[in-house]
Structure 1
């Protein structure tokens, strides 16, 4: 095992009110995996992406109990293997696997040699799987008043389990695991791209909670119990809560969104003046946004899911004055949706077509 620590106060960021801010990592911690050591691993197929022509997909082998992958993990054909399907072979023969490991270590190779007959097969299970434990300690003033949270990461999250406890003005403690907790992760979130959060916090005279909610995500169809808040703010009681309101100034007008993947999409643009403030108070913050609407089935950003039909981007005031807001809005739409595609591992089936 080896450990590492860093003093965040030396970096010079957000030092005010803090007298301790340090991060800790404990690497190469042996994983117990008692059940797998007694009964053996339970190999299943894991991966991402739908089985559809032109859409990116990948399949590999993993232990359904402990989350350990063989080395190499395998590169299975997505058209023949479904996610969650038990895997019973074929495997890389033990003799060739040992020979590849020996040649890699002897010659100091950066890439493991693979026999042509074993290009897609998984190898041996690691003998001594390890993981990492991490922590962050803050003593002094932090943001918010109180917060307690537990997060279960999705299959692609490098932190299967993370949690924190924060109390102003005393400090905060953050904990996370890497590899540890994979069994719980695979039981609770076997698929999907979103981690799940259980949280209760107090900030800005408001008590908020999340119960098994998607991390950094909210949808209108979420059940009522998943998100909630109780306001203790007297100003809010008198003048109302801060809200966004919109006034249409220009449009609708047509625009063309050119994606870096080669596909293009025609959208309808509407320029709006946005107000953020309390309804019974004159003081407010103003900005410009462009609401856009695409033709059905929308602009796809996730494998196997329907495309995005409508959203909005914010544009600076000088582009409104010069009349360049529509051109900039199309570029911002392409930038945002491209980031979503990269995050979701999506590639379009066709390119160079305007929809």
Structure 2
């Protein structure tokens, strides 16, 4: 068993918290009192492929603690059903791993690795891991949540609580809690979560929802939100609308390296507020470029920024030279992005 910590603030150029540290314990022994007293309860586990694939896979797992024998076995799917108690043979020794020569030969011929069909012995000393992440100071989380992983999850159980400006705490387990996971979420590969969060003046909840998937077939009670801002009920819902805009105008953005880029710019004046409350207005710059302005070096996201939308000083909006001022602002914003992403100009041929 070993433990270590990670200081996440060292990797942040602009830390938002006084403390942001991770604490981890690896190779911690699992206690499993029932299985050590009564022995493991062998059950058939696996999956049935979906979406047109007919492959079905079966292996052996302990239904109480989630530990798998070594090897876990590769059973005949026509003979063994999911959730069935396994009463077949189990070997007493773990077979040696395949040799490097065999691995290379199979890879050269594009053949799969051989999988032992008979389950091996149960591991004598199963281990797991714990992890925690503590934030003291400003955090983006207000609320709490619980997660129950699926059969393939790295984090079997997880939980968090966030207190906004005070901080947040995140914890998770690896392998610990597999018995709970098998009781609550035994089938499928969708983790489940229970979550309550507060942001944008609303309370948002999730009750046993799939962690990474939303569907129209989900019941209404599973996910939802309610407005908890008193101003929403006293003054009406907050909204924004465009009350004025300029014509689209072409201009040229000149970067400090001497390169020029053709763009089109337009100003929009927005009004925000509630029907029975005070209104605020501001100007926004909306620009686009057909060819784009390079701001990063990325293989699949692309190097060029094709446009942007952001605030524009009110004092500049009434100037007859607002187009030139917009061009200068675009150049400044793109230079900030280049510095942020560490942009490197392509070398000349």
TM-score, normalization by structure 2: 0.60
The structure 1 residue matched to 2:168, chosen from 148, 151, 172, is 172
- 1:79: Cα distance to partner? 2.8
TM-aligned CA distance change 1:53 to 1:222, over 3 Å: closer
Matched residue SS, 1:225 = helix
1:207 counterpart residue number: 203
The whole-number CA distance in structure 2 between the counterparts of 1:278 and 1:109 is 71
The whole-number CA distance in structure 2 between the counterparts of 1:14 and 1:201 is 25
The whole-number CA distance in structure 2 between the counterparts of 1:54 and 1:184 is 30
The structure 2 residue matched to 1:121, chosen from 118, 122, 132, is 118
1:141 counterpart residue number: 138
- 1:56: Cα distance to partner? 3.3
2:54 counterpart residue number: 55
TM-aligned CA distance change 1:236 to 1:51, over 3 Å: closer
2:75 counterpart residue number: 76
TM-aligned CA distance change 1:279 to 1:222, over 3 Å: farther
2:246 counterpart residue number: none
Structure 2 alignment gaps of length 5 or more: 104-113, 241-271, 287-304, 308-349
2:2 counterpart residue number: 2
CA offsets 1:162-182 (integer angstroms, 9 cap, x no match): 001110111111110011111
Larger Rg: 2
- Determine whether 1:153 maps to 2:149: yes
The whole-number CA distance in structure 1 between the counterparts of 2:195 and 2:45 is 29
The whole-number CA distance in structure 1 between the counterparts of 2:212 and 2:165 is 25
- Determine whether 1:181 maps to 2:177: yes
TM-aligned CA distance change 1:123 to 1:53, over 3 Å: farther
The whole-number CA distance in structure 1 between the counterparts of 2:285 and 2:34 is 58
CA offsets 1:59-104 (integer angstroms, 9 cap, x no match): 2110000000000111122232221111111222x2xx26x46xx7
The structure showing larger relative contact order (alpha-carbon pairs under 8 Å, at least 6 residues apart) is: 1
- 8 Å CA contact 1:51–1:57 kept in 2: the answer is no
CA offsets 1:2-43 (integer angstroms, 9 cap, x no match): 012111111125613x11111111011111110011111111
Matches within 5 A, 1:301-316: none
Structure 1 alignment gaps of length 5 or more: 112-116, 244-276, 287-315, 319-355
1:226 counterpart residue number: 222
- 1:196: Cα distance to partner? 1.2
- 1:236: Cα distance to partner? 5.8
Cα RMSD of the aligned pairs, angstroms, is 3.7
- 8 Å CA contact 1:46–1:59 kept in 2: the answer is yes
TM-aligned CA distance change 1:227 to 1:53, over 3 Å: closer
